[in-house]
Amino acid sequence: MEQPYWPVKKLFFGRDDAESDFVDGLLRDGFQSTYASETVLAGRKSLVVGRKGSGKSAICAHLMSGRYPGRAALITPDDAAGDEIRRFELQGLTADTAKSLIWRYVFAVHAAKHITEHAGTHKKWRIPASVRALKDFLQANGEGDDGRLTDRLRRGTRLLQSATLAVKMFGFEASVSAGGGEPGAGGGSEGARAMRQLDALEVGVRAAFEDLGCAAAKERPFLILVDQLEQVWQGDPDSHALVTGLLLSAKHAAAAYGHAVRCVLFVRADIYDVLNFADGDKFRSDEVRITWSPAALRELARARAALSLERPVTDDELWDGIFPRRVAGQWTPEYLVRRSLARPRDIIQFLTLCRDAADRSGHPTIHEDDVLEAAEQFSRWKLDDLAKEYNVGFPFLRPVFAQFENAGYAVDRNDFTARFHEVRDDLHERYSAYAEQLTATSVIDALYGIGFLGVRRGDGVVYAGDSQWPLQPYEDDLRVHPCFRPALGCRTPTSSGDSWLIVGDQAAVTLAGAQSHAAFLRNVSTTDAGFQADRHVRLLEETTLALSRLQRQLGRSGLPAESLTQVQEGIDLLNEQIDALPLPGAGLTPDMVEDQIGDVTERLTALHTRMNDRGLRDEPITRRLVDEARALRRALGGAVGGGGGSDSSG
């Protein structure tokens, strides 16, 4: 007797994360090639940008699985590693530049370990002196074992800050000694010494690659991949400097090592798009954004269904056999894509929910009711995920989403403004640091920028990604994205329950790689739509960070006991004064903040003068005092948020 057709029992679309998906085999055997993955593999792009769930880690896992024909190393910083990098600073350098040096150290060590291991299998009968020198370097600096990234960062921090990096084997001992450089010219600063040491190390690494013939154009470069930066992102100035420093170091590596080493970075779009640094325009040609068309997402679903069922599956069978042909009057794949955010993770989750609903109901194939049930759960997931994805920049999304509950999905700007005014005071109290920017207009702009709202233009409705134009102030006819409507109870266009159809609201939605999304986020720090803490709150944060940097610098200084005590007492007093200020929303005013910062700069300058008078001019902490005072003075004049830290003028 012929067995009944029951594909649901075996149907499997994959896991939520690339690592687990790879272990299960679907990512390994059914990897969906995209323009982004092809350009990275070909070496044409080195900066992969995409929204959460768009497939960045999938490309990374694919390269590490052996798809890349050369050697590769993967760096995935965790919380502990992020803390080490955020705390790293060097007197005489900006925060961006200082953090680029610790990344350069990590890259150099990875490259050195690779080339020394490769030398053992090389056809040359005699190991070159440059390779022997690298082995000595790794041993002398405690880098002989693989170890954890945090441990490597801790060693690099200690060595770069203390100017004890062992590089004498490369013939640069004199130029990297602690006393190098002219006093007062910046040459003897911590930053200048660290840069000379790293320059020497990178010259030695490149020499080893060249001596083994691994730097030739015909050879595959050693590939260093950096992924999961969202694990260390906190949205503060140190996090900005951490990622900016990584970008700068990757760009530097391309010049320092030539063809021998490539660094490929995988950065979430909401992180990359808020970075604001002088050399940002130099990464345009390296950047590739991950985009997914509806056809590519349908192919992903078909390929994974075929792998799990262990036989070929056609489009017709998948969408008119395993799945129902139509759901709520729409072709099923269009229904699924339109109610997701056009990312692989979304489609995998949605398809899995459909399969689970059918299995629970005892259906041999997936019915329309199963898809409708899955859509409800999926919508709740995605609304929650959107709030988490943008929590760092927009911490107030959850209470704002509540303003759309059980209302129509067609939103009039004036109606929303009226509803927002009813809760504005409560939001200002709960999120007092953002009070100046929490207006109805800026919230609407934010909701459009992150893809929650669309806008009707002509005969259609566009969402983030459909248009390069941001939301205009005169555009009043807005729409809640179909993905989020079930979770909010937005069943009809209007709250009255009328079920008439809005022409053009059936347009397909594409979000990944959105230019409007990128443009919006790139302007976060400079427009009314951007949700940073209000200026006087940011100024106070900058001041607190400056005092923390001075505390750390003081902890490793060699000041005489009397001077050490005097500086410590001065910093403690300033911290006490800041702690005594009212909280945002509880009486703190811009005048209070500006007066406090003015007092801080005067006291730091006075401490610097006192150290100079005692003959301690060239101590790193002495220089750091005036560096931080200058930076705060510039911030007070309006240049806030550029990465903090000291400058190179000291």
Q: Tens digit of pLDDT for each residue in 322-357?
A: 999 999 999 999 999 999 988 899 999 999 999 999
Residue 476 neighbours by CB under 8 Å, 6+ apart:
412, 413, 414
Q: Distance between CA atoms of 643 and 632, rounded to whole angstroms?
A: 12
* pLDDT band at residue 637 under the 50/70/90 scheme: confident
Task: Evaluate whether residue 29 is within a structural domain.
Answer: no
Q: Tens digit of pLDDT for each residue in 40-52?
A: 999 999 999 998 8
Which long-range contacts link 276-280 to residues 24+ away (Cβ below 8 Å)?
Answer: 276/240, 276/522, 276/525, 276/526, 276/641, 276/642, 277/96, 277/244, 277/247, 277/642, 277/643, 279/248, 279/251
Task: Evaluate whether residue 2 is within a structural domain.
Answer: no
59 and 113 co-located in one domain? yes
Higher pLDDT, 113 or 504: 113
Higher pLDDT, 104 or 497: 104
Q: Please report the sign of the dihedral spanned by the C-alpha atoms of residue 157, residue 549, residue 624, residue 633.
A: positive
Q: Distance between CA atoms of 48 and 56, rounded to whole angstroms?
A: 7
Structural domains counted in the chain: 4
- Tell me what pLDDT residue 321 has: 93
141 and 219 co-located in one domain? yes
Task: Evaluate whether residue 142 is within a structural domain.
Answer: yes
119 and 97 co-located in one domain? yes
Percent of the chain with pLDDT over 90: 41
The domain boundary residue, chosen from 274, 289, 304 = 289
- Tell me what pLDDT residue 467 has: 58
- Tell me what pLDDT residue 366 has: 96
In this structure, are residues 238 and 142 in contact, taking their beta carbons and an 8 Å threshold?
Answer: no
- DSSP for residue 470: P
* pLDDT band at residue 460 under the 50/70/90 scheme: confident
279 and 299 co-located in one domain? no
Residue 576 neighbours by CB under 8 Å, 6+ apart:
none
Task: Evaluate whether residue 646 is within a structural domain.
Answer: no
447 and 306 co-located in one domain? no
Higher pLDDT, 432 or 261: 261
The domain boundary residue, chosen from 389, 420, 452 = 389
203 and 70 co-located in one domain? yes
Range with lowest mean pLDDT among 7-11, 76-80, 294-298: 7-11
Residue 22 neighbours by CB under 8 Å, 6+ apart:
28, 61, 65
Q: Distance between CA atoms of 70 and 64, rounded to whole angstroms?
A: 10
The answer, yes or no, to whether residue 73 has pLDDT greater than 80, is: yes
Residue 53 neighbours by CB under 8 Å, 6+ apart:
341, 343, 344, 345, 346
Tell which phi-psi region holds residue 585, choosing left (phi > 0), alpha (psi between -120 and 50) or beta.
left
Q: Distance between CA atoms of 485 and 379, rounded to whole angstroms?
A: 7
The domain boundary residue, chosen from 348, 369, 389 = 389
- Tell me what pLDDT residue 113 has: 92
Task: Evaluate whether residue 21 is within a structural domain.
Answer: no
What is the chain's alpha carbon radius of gyration, rounded to the nearest angstrom? 28
207 and 283 co-located in one domain? yes
In the sheet that holds 410-412, the strands lie side by side as 410-412, 477-480, 453-457, 460-462
Higher pLDDT, 387 or 619: 387
* pLDDT band at residue 163 under the 50/70/90 scheme: low
- Tell me what pLDDT residue 139 has: 87
483 and 631 co-located in one domain? no
- Tell me what pLDDT residue 647 has: 45
Higher pLDDT, 508 or 258: 258
Chain mean position to CA 591: 34
63 and 191 co-located in one domain? yes
The upper half-sphere exposure of residue 619, i.e. CA atoms within 13 Å in the direction of its Cβ, equals 26
Range with lowest mean pLDDT among 97-106, 217-226, 258-267: 217-226
Strand partners, 40: none
Residues comprising the chain, all counted: 650
- Tell me what pLDDT residue 174 has: 36
Higher pLDDT, 486 or 124: 486
Q: Distance between CA atoms of 494 and 508, rounded to whole angstroms?
A: 21
- CA distances (Å), origin 2, targets 5, 6, 9: 9, 12, 17
> Domain span at residue 157?
35-289
Give the tokens for residue 376: 């409800």
In this structure, are residues 465 and 517 in contact, taking their beta carbons and an 8 Å threshold?
Answer: yes
The answer, yes or no, to whether residue 169 has pLDDT greater than 80, is: no
- CA distances (Å), origin 409, targets 275, 404, 412, 498: 33, 8, 10, 12
* pLDDT band at residue 510 under the 50/70/90 scheme: very low
Average pLDDT over residues 303-316: 92
The answer, yes or no, to whether residue 170 has pLDDT greater than 90, is: no
Angle at the Cα of 262 (from 259 to 267), degrees rounded to 5? 155
The answer, yes or no, to whether residue 511 has pLDDT greater than 70, is: no
Q: What is the pTM of this model?
A: 0.80
616 and 495 co-located in one domain? no
Q: What is the mean pLDDT of the chain?
A: 83
Task: Evaluate whether residue 97 is within a structural domain.
Answer: yes
Average pLDDT over residues 218-238: 90
Residue with tokens 């709030």: 387
- DSSP for residue 467: B
The answer, yes or no, to whether residue 616 has pLDDT greater than 60, is: yes
In this structure, are residues 597 and 535 in contact, taking their beta carbons and an 8 Å threshold?
Answer: no
The amino acid occupying position 226 is V
Q: Tens digit of pLDDT for each residue in 395-406?
A: 889 999 999 999
Instruction: Kindly report the number of other CB atoms within 10 A of residue 524's CB atom.
Output: 19
Q: Tens digit of pLDDT for each residue in 256-299?
A: 999 999 999 999 988 998 888 888 888 999 999 998 999 999 99
Task: Evaluate whether residue 641 is within a structural domain.
Answer: no
239 and 333 co-located in one domain? no
115 and 230 co-located in one domain? yes
Angle at the Cα of 89 (from 88 to 90), degrees rounded to 5? 140
Task: Evaluate whether residue 649 is within a structural domain.
Answer: no
Average pLDDT over residues 400-428: 92
The answer, yes or no, to whether residue 64 has pLDDT greater than 70, is: yes
Instruction: Kindly report the number of other CB atoms within 10 A of residue 570's CB atom.
Output: 18
